[in-house]
Amino acid sequence: MFDSIIVGSGCAGAVIANRLAAAGKKVLVLEKRSHIGGNCYDEYDENGILIHTYGPHIFHTNNGQVYEYLSQYTKWFDYSHEVLANVYGTLIPVPFNLNTLYMVYEKEKADRLKDKLISTYKEGSKVPILELMNSDDEEIKDIADYVYNNIFLKYTMKQWGQKPEEIDSSVTARVPVSISYDNRYFTDKYQGMPLDGYTKMFENILADNNITVKLNTDAKEHILFEGGKVYYNGTEFTGDVIFTGQADELFDYCYGRLPYRTLDFVFENYKTEHFQPKGVVNYTVSEDYTRITEFKYLTNQKDDSQYSKAYTGSDDEIPYYAIINEENLALYNRYADLAAKYPKLKLVGRLAEYKYYNIDAIVAKALQVAEEILA
């Protein structure tokens, strides 16, 4: 009955389903959760506030093709994301930028440091904190030490349970010092929030008569991978299978579990116009939680706190962040090798590929995979 089976209805699964269906393929989407949209899912809470159930998601991209593609399924709320760090009660903009410099140092010193930063790294650039720490200039190192100790170290340890040095440089590169006066967290050409929310956007992406979505359906209970063949409900399935869940789970953790970080969210409601001055405040030195999001800024209301901890694999935990290092990637590659024994199986997405993807990057990848399948 179906040409393709797609496991998961997040960005990866939904976009591939959409493209295959548009080309006339009959697509079955199996989703183990009770809703579509993966971790981008949003829903109205009991106060009528649109919250992001799995953490705040802000769309941003320089990829015009991805923006145009998604714009067929949503209008956008023009939102530029700004983040503050709470450093012992003082709120400063992050990424650390030239505005932050003037809040941390007295004017004469800040003037001198600004000139040095601009002449060394060029105005408009973003310098990873670990690179700044290797500078030969004592005053630049001094800035790096401030950022490292007050914005980076404890936050990173809360987030990752590891020191910054122990973490893959692709992760630490996401915490730069910005040599500009731009307080925006993202500087991409296109940024915003789906006007009616992510879930509505995913409903539109999946609204095709060629797509059948089965919610509350764990693919593991229906699909069997054995001896290079794929079976769906006991019958051999020879079409394409796109798997966007965990690669280790797919093969019953036969080589052991891939390590992840998981998150705890605490949602609270306050009857006040604003709880904090910007959408997100990171708690970089003191509190146990990593950040508080006031969704009101992003979507129109609400606050939550976010705690990070090690993922243990228990049923009530969600694997959020792959912990990228040599050892874990070697383990992942063993699962990828197993998957390669099934010619029609593709692993796509943040879980299946064991890597961090922003929304735009996974949408771009999904568009590319769909094109390859159709070719």
Ligand X SMILES: Cc1cc2nc3c(=O)[nH]c(=O)nc-3n(C[C@H](O)[C@H](O)[C@H](O)COP(=O)(O)OP(=O)(O)OC[C@H]3O[C@@H](n4cnc5c(N)ncnc54)[C@H](O)[C@@H]3O)c2cc1C
Q: Footprint of ligand X on this chain (CB under 6 A)?
A: 7-13, 30-33, 38-40, 55-58, 218-220, 244-245, 263, 320-321, 349-351, 357-360, 362
Q: Which is nearer to ligand X, 233 or 272 (CB)?
A: 233
Q: How far apart are CA 106 and CA 213, in angstroms?
A: 59
Smallest gap, in angstroms, from Cβ of residue 109 to ligand X?
34
Kindly state the smallest distance separating residue 135's Cβ from ligand X, in Å.
30
- Minimum CB–partner distance for residue 13 and ligand X (Å): 6
Which CB, 60 or 121, lies closer to ligand X?
A: 60
Task: Locate all alpha helices (DSSP H) within the chain, ordered by sequence.
Answer: 11-22, 64-71, 98-104, 107-121, 129-133, 138-147, 153-160, 169-172, 198-206, 247-250, 295-298, 326-339, 359-374
Among 258, 217, 230, smallest CA distance to 355 is for 258
Cβ at position 233, least distance to ligand X in Å: 14
Distances (CA, A) of 18 to 65, 69, 91, 208, 344: 15, 11, 43, 7, 19
Output the smallest distance, CB 18 to ligand X, in A.
13
In whole angstroms, the minimum distance from the beta carbon of 158 to ligand X comes to: 14
Nearer to ligand X, 179 or 242 (CB): 242
Instruction: Check if the beta carbon of residue 36 is closer than 8 Å to that of residue 6.
Output: no
Alpha-carbon gap, residue 222 to 74, rounded angstroms: 33
Cα dihedral sign for 172, 173, 179, 182?
negative
Closer Cβ to ligand X, 10 or 194, answer by number: 10
| Cβ distance to ligand X smaller for residue 100 or 244 | 244
Q: How far is the CB of 287 from ligand X (least distance, A)?
A: 18
Contact yes or no for 107/97 (Cβ under 8 A): no
Q: How far is the CB of 67 from ligand X (least distance, A)?
A: 12
Query: 140 exposed, middle or buried (CB, 10 Å; 0-12, 13-18, 19+)?
Result: buried
Place of tokens 């935990």: 317
Residue number with CB closer to ligand X (289 or 320): 320
CA dist 305 and 78 (Å) reads 24
Strand partners, 282: 85, 291
Nearer to ligand X, 13 or 176 (CB): 13
- Are 149 and 129 contacting, i.e. CB atoms less than 8 angstroms apart? no
Which CB atom, from 9 or from 135, has the smaller least distance to ligand X? Answer: 9
User: For residues 36 and 14, is the Cβ–Cβ distance under 8 A?
Assistant: yes
